[in-house]
A = this chain, B = another copy of it.
């Protein structure tokens, strides 16, 4: 049987260096790393032996649960988590719950069975018993709860900023698209926007929606113009819905932004590709993911530490679905 000593000898490095490469902790130069990996391959050194030792010492695995991998906001979060975890020598197991509580519980079980050392979740069911019985460091991402540390963007301020922007740019009949009620950040931004609209000298309407799915976005857009044909300013529940609203508005021959202004939420990569490109409130998704990994890894190191949460700022990204100058 090939041993770690054989690999070290073959690569011309110490056993400690091979171990560092295998366990991904401590510094190893790129060239050395390559030599060690080459030796592992050439000698056909079995990672299963490594697995057994890892199994004894505890893994370096982190579980990440997303509610909907097809919403482009979440892959951005995931990349942030992945990059920071990788930088610190941790690997990611990714689960997509599809907003399904059974799938969510299945993934949590899979994570635990595979000895993850911590978990990050961006789903909507953290109040379930399953989480409370977990004996693992847990960080919420894009979600908040009094029970767990969390990394999230300032949704209330985001909602305020969206409404303030439309009003400042002269919208008089605003329509606010309210996101799904079970998604906490959607509720936050709804409340923020309502605060501003309630104090402003404009007419406004609220349209409730129940999902962010691509498949339904065009239906929401159509319904919006049927219900509120005279609207001149729309605060979309997110960018997907915002892009669908641009589609429907152009189909109906509306001039954007002269006749109708639209503002989205998230700043997904697609938003700059629409025509006109979508003005939106940016959540720093990648950075949020990075911070969540950082926070989790801190907790893995010091589980007794009091937990803290991190609120990230949002930002107005002005593109061409809002007017350039204030036109009251």
| Interface of A toward B, CB cutoff 8 Å | 24, 37, 41, 44, 47-48, 50-51, 54-55, 59, 61, 69-70, 72, 75-76, 78-79, 82, 86, 91-96, 98, 103, 105-107, 109-110, 112-115, 129-130, 133, 214-215, 217-218, 240, 243-244, 246-247, 250-251, 269-270, 272-275, 277
Contact = CB atoms under 8 A, between A and B. Distances in A.
A76 B98 CA distance: 12
Contacts of A113: 47-48, 50-51, 54, 59
Contacts of A251: 275
B274 A44 contact: no
Nearest to A244: B273
Oligomer: number of copies: 2
A246 to B, nearest CB: 6
A79 B71 CA distance: 12
A109 B246 contact: no
- Interface residues of chain A: helix, strand, loop or mixed (majority): helix
A94 B91 contact: no
Among A55, A93, A215, max chain B CB count under 10 A is at A93
20 contacts: A47-B112, A48-B115, A50-B113, A51-B115, A59-B113, A69-B75, A70-B72, A70-B79, A78-B96, A79-B96, A92-B95, A93-B94, A94-B95, A114-B114, A214-B272, A246-B275, A247-B274, A250-B275, A273-B274, A275-B275
A282 to B, nearest CB: 15
A98 B79 contact: yes
